[in-house]
Amino acid sequence: MITDIYGHRGARGLYPENTLFGFEKCLENNLTGFELDVVVSKNHSLIVSHEPWMSYKYCLHPNDIPITKNNQKSFNLYQLTTDEIQKFDCGSKFNPEFPHQIKKKCFKPTLEELIDKFKVYNYEDIEIQIELKSFKEWYGIFQPYPEVYAELVIDFLKKHNFNKKQYLIKSFDSKLLNIIHHHFSGCKFGFLIDNNKSITNNLKRLNFKPDYYNLEQSKMTTEIITELKNNNINSIPWTVNSIKDAQRLEKLGVTAIITDYPNLFTDRFEA
């Protein structure tokens, strides 16, 4: 059975994504934990956001300047300070992809703000998956180069005494993961994959064996799960948003999922 449920971007099907409000709701409902994304601001703060720009889908400009699909990338978070970023409202706008999402005025928090806020909870029981958004084509444009990015993350990990039980650091960027792991191995690491190459070929890009190998849920097969088990590597598929998909994964032996709708998979969840 699926026993471990993580709210994707703070259960974005129900609450504004990557916001303190959404993460708090995940904890109030006793989920195993939540997943979030991190980018970097102009003043080198780690910002909780899926895109390194203001998405037209759910963000509003503080001066009512329209954010559109065509101009959204001009609101580059890597060229904005934390103060400038947090003037945008990224919780009140209706997002047609998630029509049942509760609307609430929210800002993009720093990773520091998130960790500090949840120290008041039973902190040792919370599992947090942190995806570092990093792609080669973004280097020097929407993010620092990996060496600088890694230093920011390593300093943060050491400051907050991250450990293997609570924290999973993951990314699609093998170069960034290699640098971080070389200087800090005190937490779990996950390698995100979005290609159809073999596990063996993908793992050659890393200088270490990750704790997790993470695939989109539809790509999970019995063969993949068997190979990962033989290599003592775990996997938490994303993003599982239907009972049908969850049932298929259960038959494969999957016990943990990331979902936008955790209320579908636990009777202890309350909106």
78 falls within a domain? no
Alpha-carbon span 175 to 179, nearest angstrom: 6
Neighbours of 179 (CB within 10 A): 20
Half-sphere exposure of 15 (CA within 13 A, CB side): 24
Q: How many domains does the chain have?
A: 1
Q: Which pLDDT belongs to residue 78?
A: 98
Q: Which pLDDT belongs to residue 161?
A: 77
- Say whether pTM exceeds 0.85: yes
Look at residue 14 and give its three-state secondary structure. Answer: coil
Q: Which pLDDT belongs to residue 271?
A: 64
92 falls within a domain? no
99 contact partners, CB below 8 Å, separation of at least 6: none
Burial of residue 96 (CB within 10 Å: 0-12, 13-18, 19+) is exposed
38 falls within a domain? yes
239 falls within a domain? yes
pLDDT, averaged per 10 consecutive residues of the chain (271 residues), comes to 94 97 92 96 98 98 98 98 98 95 97 87 79 98 98 93 83 98 94 95 98 96 96 96 96 96 85 64
Q: Which pLDDT belongs to residue 119?
A: 76
168 falls within a domain? yes
Alpha-carbon span 40 to 73, nearest angstrom: 14
Closest Cα partner for 134 from 190, 66, 50? 50
Decide: 60 and 67 in contact? Cβ < 8 Å: yes
Q: Which pLDDT belongs to residue 245?
A: 97
Q: Domain span at residue 223?
A: 4-53+107-264
59 falls within a domain? no
CATH number at residue 141: 3.20.20.190
Q: What is the DSSP letter of 127?
A: E
Examine residue 266 and say whether the peptide bond preceding it is cis (omega within 30 degrees of 0).
no
